[in-house]
Structure 1
Amino acid sequence: MLAHLTDDLGVVLRRDLVAAGLDDNAIARRCRTGELTRLRQGVYVATAAYTAADASGRHLMLCRGVMRLYPADVALSHTSAALAYGAPAWQVPLDVAHVTGLEPQGTRTQARVRHHEGVCRVGDVSRREGHWITAPARTALDAASLLDRDAAVCVIDWFVESGHTTLAECRQQLLSRREWTDHLDLTMKLDHAREGSQSVAESRCHLLFSDHGLPRPLQQVEVRDERGWLVGIVDFAWPEHRVVLEFDGIEKYHRYRRPGESIEEMVLREKWREDRIREVTGWTIIRISWADLEHPARLVERLRRQLARSA
């Protein structure tokens, strides 16, 4: 019955349910029977859609409802805007939706909505899905201002690698907010951002190399055989040490998986690629995973030993 009232994310507002003839008691019954899930005051979602969504998707459902509720004097912003653009949700709090008022209203949090007060110029906002959203460079910095350093750098790296903005544009944006209290913190986070990081894992690797004084590797290095044919592209390489570092993660396998190819076929093809790289270059290949990043001291010691041995 409710399918025609929900949008493409499964979100529906109380006012739309009431207009369709459902009073608050009827809405409450549908919540009790599991047909609807309440996201916040005045915002509901079809439970089937909510159950099928991941944490990031559920946050975007909340944001959709909030933006439909509020008038045109707010813009989706900070981490909520970043997720709307498609940025990774690694270590991003998802409990509240973030909006910035286009008119001074003060900073407050109520009913799962964080209202930010800030100056929005013409170039700082754009229209998306019929609502205002902060522009990419502004969003990258606003999101970074709420996050710990590593998560902040991952978000900035994503915005740059995805082509939504550039590091130069982010730095220019930062200059325009020099008087803001987060200026020095954002300067430090932006200094750690790198072009070319294609995933959260690669951004975290860069931070690990920098934090522990490891030599800065080349990234996305093409390896070609004696005929000049491309054998593969490696995540990180220290040519002078004859060492390659590759990250194993499910997102990487999905990114390079060919149409119709099974995971098993993908793994076998990856093994053949690694064997060919080793055969062509004679370099040592080190593979790491998310678990290794959770134990940085052990990983750094492993890398130091291998770099020293190869040197």
Structure 2
Amino acid sequence: MNPKLKLLAEKQGGVYSRRQAADCGYTRGQIHDRIQDGRWERIRYGQYAEAVELGLLQPWDRDLLKHRRLVHAVMNSMRPSTVAVSHQSALALHGVPLWGPDLAEVQVSRLDRHRGGRIAGVRHHRGKLTDADLTVVAGLPATTVPRALFEMGCTSSFEAAVVSADAVRRDHPINEAVVQRLLQVTEFWTGSATARAALKFSDPSSESVGESRLRVLLHTHGLPTPVLQAVFDDAAGFIGRVDFFFAAERTVVEFDGLLKYGDGARETLIREKLREDRLRALGLQVVRVTWADLNHPEQLIAHIRRAFARA
């Protein structure tokens, strides 16, 4: 990519239009060749970006990157000051983890009187936005983190809303006055009950997407409320923090979010084994949960209940 187009793309989330590429000196044939040989990829009609390697990213990070590019492509093709990025699309721009909400469509809220609905893969929402609801992120007008969280919570599942609410409370603490204002604003919105329940259930001590999803699963199946990030020591000193501790059941549940252990696989496994041995020496049951286990909730819950019984 030539320096002129590279600088332009960097200001637009890596995305540029066919016209912008032409203005930076690329002929129609050069643009066609770069798309055909995979150096450039089409993000949406008339909008492109340099191809990037996504194989090493976690699935949710890969989806977020793709969606952020799609958001920039949509906004790059719209008239300025007509819409603000909103809902899960705004959360994606803010870097808030997402799991579960629909990322096939870009979500925007109208700043003019244009009608709402789905147009060319973009979901247009109608709603009154004040200055307190708006900000600029990655060079684009967007709803603030708190507003976007409420918007997304009203249009997604409880699990999806909790994943993002945990992350927001952990990384983007919300002023209580802002929470109360948004609770009032969204009181009669469709889906507001889900957003409220997710916010009430959310916990900033949940440190990852996987931990949030597991916490929702435990809650759904009626297990006792665990202590998050409990600290354990023994005669040799500090053992570590554990993801979930069921005190009455003397059981520790750990979520293993590593898809790959990489080059240090042996050393990592040895450290984890020694750590678990020290926990068991304290009279605790230890249950390790993986991503694959979340796809079989009944089996996982039965496994944890058996650990309770052994304890």
TM-score bin, normalised by smaller chain = 0.7 to 0.9
Mapped to 2, the partners of 1:34 and 1:275 lie a distance apart of: 50
Superposed displacement of residue 217, structure 1:
1.0
Deviations 1:209-258 (A, max 9, x none): 2222211111100002247x42200111122221111111217979xxxx
Q: Aligned with 2:5: secondary structure?
A: coil
- Following superposition, the deviation at residue 140 of structure 1 comes to 1.0
Residue 138 of structure 1, CA deviation: 0.7
Select the residue among 180, 196, 201 that pairs with 1:187: 196
Q: CA deviation at 1:136?
A: 0.9
Are residue 5 (structure 1) and residue 15 (structure 2) matched?
A: no
Structure-to-structure mapping, 1:114-133, within 5 angstroms: 114-133=123-142
Shift of 1:131: 2.1
Question: Could you say which residue in structure 1 is the equivalent of 2:306?
Answer: 305
Question: C-alpha displacement at 1:47, in angstroms?
Answer: 3.0
Per the alignment, do residues 263 and 275 of structure 1 end up closer, same or farther by CA in structure 2, a change over 3 Å counting?
same
Shift of 1:110: 2.5
Deviates more, 1:235-244 or 1:298-307: 298-307
Q: Does the CA contact (< 8 Å) of 2:41 and 2:49 recur in 1?
A: yes
- Structure 1 residue runs of 5 or longer lacking an equivalent are 255-260
Contact 2:35-2:41 at 8 Å conserved across structures: yes
Gaps of 5+ in 2: none
Letter in 2 for 1:240: A
Aligned-residue CA RMSD in angstroms? 2.8
Cα contact 2:153–2:192 (8 A) shared by 1: no
Give the distance between the partners of 1:50 and 1:289, measured in 2 at CA. Answer: 22
CA–CA separation in structure 2 for the residues paired with 1:215 and 1:52: 36
The residue number in structure 2 matching 1:35 is 39
More divergent stretch after superposition (23-32 vs 187-196):
23-32
Aligned to 1:235: 243
Q: CA deviation at 1:198?
A: 1.0
- The answer as to whether partners of 2:35 and 2:42 remain within 8 angstroms in 1 is yes
Specify the SS of the correspondent of 1:246: strand
Structure 1's 241 and 182: CA in aligned 2 closer, same or farther, altered over 3 A? closer
Counterpart Cα distance in 1 of 2:132 and 2:84? 13
Per-residue deviation, residues 163-204 of structure 1 (Å, max 9, x unmatched): 343688545412222232332332333343233111122112
- CA distance in structure 2 between the aligned counterparts of 1:265 and 1:44, rounded to whole angstroms: 43
CA contact (8 A) 1:212 1:300 kept: yes
Which residue number corresponds to residue 15 of structure 1? Answer: 19
CA distance in 1, matches of 2:154, 2:42: 29
> Which residue does 2:267 correspond to in 1?
265
Give the letter for the 1:123 counterpart.
A
Tell whether 2:299 aligns with 1:290: no
Alpha-carbon contact 2:15-2:73 (below 8 Å) kept: yes
1:85 aligns with 2:87: no
Contact 2:17/2:48 (CA < 8 Å) preserved in 1?
yes
Alignment size in residue pairs: 302
TM-score by length of 1: 0.85
Q: Distance in 2 between matches of 1:268 and 1:4?
A: 51
Partners of 2:274 and 2:154 in 1: CA distance? 43
When normalised by structure 2's length, the TM-score is 0.85
**% identical aligned pairs:** 32
Aligned equivalent of 1:257: none
d(CA) in 1 for partners of 2:155, 2:41: 28
